[in-house]
Amino acid sequence: MALEHAILVSLLEKPGSGYELARRFERSIGYFWTATHQQIYRVLKRMEGDGWIDVREVPQQGRPDKKEYSVAALGRTVLSRWLHEPIEPESVRHDLAVKIRGAAFDDPVALIGEVERHQRAHADRLTHYLAGQLRDFTGPDAPTAQDAGQELQHAVLRGGIAYERMMLAWLDDVLATLHGLRPEH
Amino acid sequence: MALEHAILVSLLEKPGSGYELARRFERSIGYFWTATHQQIYRVLKRMEGDGWIDVREVPQQGRPDKKEYSVAALGRTVLSRWLHEPIEPESVRHDLAVKIRGAAFDDPVALIGEVERHQRAHADRLTHYLAGQLRDFTGPDAPTAQDAGQELQHAVLRGGIAYERMMLAWLDDVLATLHGLRPEH
DNA sequence: ACTAACATGTAAGCGGTTACATGATTTC
DNA sequence: GAAATCATGTAACCGCTTACATGTTAGT
């Protein structure tokens, strides 16, 4: 499990509330890890109880008060230990691949629309990533000298971009295969 | 959830026992979906209770008897319905990406070995996929005329190959980034 | 008036992992 | 004699999803 670790990394990059973390998990951190706000609040409470993170009540005007979390010394230790222990390459789960193989026993042509839908979703994500890259790393407003943190964030983002490009190309391949199928007789 | 559907597809491709399914989930089906034998046995029992699949006790010599499952009419209906309903593009979870971003707050150089380990794992998988492709689809012993099922299986396998190649290239990129980091002073 | 954004939670359920358990046969 | 393969399960746990719940402020 790496949700705690993802939260630790995100809080090290910038302290914030559960709500803010949930928003980050829809954006940058969410490129490679997802979590709902319910899950985040629960884990934050446990992490606080275990002394991994500190809380600070922040009164706000015009908005509900929030709890700002930051990484405690113990949290840094936990993260460091995790970084130094090997993890297994994660197992993949592609619903769409199951569908594609299943299509052989149904109507393959009916799957074309679904594949195109997925392709649009991946194209949207790619556009989103590329905009982020331009804004934060390669654009005119990006910081000229980048520290290790930014270099590594950029490397992860390049991974997301490579993934989406790969998916788009593969889904093209799948569509060509679906179109090329001739009904048996 | 798609484990039931993955099992239906696999049983349509070829009926088999829970044990055999578990083995397939380590090979071909496992390219895009994983499941342990415990999970498979439990789901098979439920699917049988719901009338999605049929069982046949097969006595064997020199081996324990096995239960051979095959897809029932209801199972085909369930699969067909699922194939026709849209699913959301799955959310990604990459532990390694969390580690890479986390490395900025620890020792980035210490991560090099871990990244290389993952790269070897992906290289192994790629080799495995390519061997499977040669054996089943593009080699001299592969069937010349391929039906829809084989065409689609091949398309999924090409996806696995594209994924592993993408990962290898990206991990090269990550390694170059890690090596390029100069300690601040 | 309504919607969106801000902010934090509880409760039920379930899919999946990990550990434990058994027993035969084949191969080294 | 030990290990690997074949074959099927139970039990405990837990991470995560889905649904439900509440309340404020800002903008249209």
For residue range A139-165, list pLDDT tens digits in order.
888 888 889 999 999 999 999 999 999
CA distance A174 to chain B (A): 6
Q: State the average pLDDT over residues B70-99.
A: 93
Does pLDDT of A14 surpass 90?
yes
Number of residues in chain A: 185
Q: Which of B128, B122, B115 is nearest to B26 (CA)?
A: B128
Give the model's pLDDT for residue B7: 97
Position B53 in a domain = yes
Residue B76: per-residue pLDDT: 97
Instruction: Measure B161 CA to D4 C1' (Å).
Output: 30
Residues B139 and B168 in one domain: yes
Last residue of a domain, one of A53, A84, A115: A84
Query: B33 and B74 share a domain?
Result: yes
Q: How many other CB atoms sit within 10 Å of the CB of residue B108?
A: 21
Q: Do both B72 and B104 map to the same domain?
A: no
Last residue of a domain, one of A84, A106, A135: A84
Q: Are residues B79 and B104 both part of a single domain? A: no
Is residue A184 predicted with pLDDT exceeding 60? no
Tokens read off for A166: 């790969």
- Judge whether residue B161 has pLDDT over 90: yes
* Local confidence band at B111 (pLDDT 50, 70, 90 cut-offs): very high
Domain count, chain A: 2
The reply to whether B33 falls in a domain is yes
- Domain end residue (candidates: B42, B64, B84): B84
A36 touches strand D (CB under 7 A): yes
| pLDDT over 60 (residue B184) | no
A53 and A28 in a common domain: yes
Inform me whether the pLDDT recorded for A23 exceeds 80. Answer: yes
Task: Tell me the C-alpha distance between B7 and B43, whole Å.
Answer: 9
Give yes or no: residues B99 and B80 share one domain. no
* pTM, to two decimals: 0.94
**A89: in domain:** no
Provide the pLDDT confidence category of residue A183 given band limits of 50, 70 and 90. low
Find the residue closest to D11 using CA and C1' atoms: B38
Task: Answer yes or no: is B3 CB < 7 A from strand C.
Answer: yes
Residue with tokens 């009540």: A57
For residue A93, the model assigns a pLDDT of 87
**What are the chain A neighbours of B101 within 8 Å (beta carbons)?**
9, 13, 149, 152-153, 156
Residue nearest D26, CA–C1′ metric: A62
Indicate yes or no: strand C within 7 A of the C-beta of A48.
no
pLDDT tens digits, A42-96? 999 999 999 999 999 998 877 888 999 999 999 999 999 999 999 988 878 899 9
Please tell me whether any atom of strand D lies within 7 Å of the Cβ of A130: no
- Which residue in this structure is represented by tokens 């446990």? A46
Average pLDDT score over residue span B13-37: 91
**Same domain, residue pair B132 and B173:** yes
Rounded CA-CA distance B86/B3 in Å is 16
Same domain, A43 and A99: no
pLDDT of residue A144: 84
- Residues with Cβ within 8 Å of A111's Cβ and at least 6 positions away in sequence, in order, are A99, A100, A103, A178, B83
Domain carrying residue A135: 95-181
The amino acid at A118: H
Question: A70 and A119: one domain?
Answer: no
Q: Which of A29-33, A125-129, B163-167 has the highest mean pLDDT?
A: B163-167
Cβ contact B173–A158 (<8 Å): yes
What does pLDDT average to over chain A? 93
**Cα angle at B26 between B21 and B30, to 5 degrees?**
90
Query: Is A159 domain-assigned?
Result: yes
pLDDT of residue B182 exceeding 80, the answer is no
Inspect the interface and report whether the beta carbons of A95 and B90 lie closer than 8 Å: yes
Q: Based on the fold, state whether residues B166 and B122 are members of the same structural domain.
A: yes
Q: Based on the domain organization, do B101 and B177 belong to the same domain?
A: yes
pLDDT of residue B183: 66
Tell me, yes or no, whether A43 lies in a domain: yes
pLDDT tens-place string over residues B131-152: 999 999 998 888 888 899 999 9
Residue A136 lies in a domain: yes
- Residue B14's domain is classified under what CATH number? 1.10.10.10
Question: The tokens 């090099």 sit on which residue?
Answer: B112
| Strands (DSSP E) found in B97-150 | none
Contact partners, residue A164, CB within 8 Å, separation at least 6 = A122, A123, A125, A126, A129
B24, pLDDT greater than 80: yes
Domain assignment present for B113 = yes
Please, what is the average pLDDT of chain B?
93
pLDDT of the residue at A38:
96
More confident residue, A166 or B1: A166
Residue-level pLDDT at B79:
97
What is the arithmetic mean of pLDDT over A122-139?
A: 93
Question: Does residue B1 surpass a pLDDT of 90?
Answer: no
- Asked, for residue A177, whether it belongs to a domain, the answer is yes
Whether residue A8 is found in the same domain as residue A78: yes
- B80 contacts on A by Cβ (under 8 Å): 106
Instruction: Give the Cα separation of A5 and A12 in Å (integer).
Output: 10
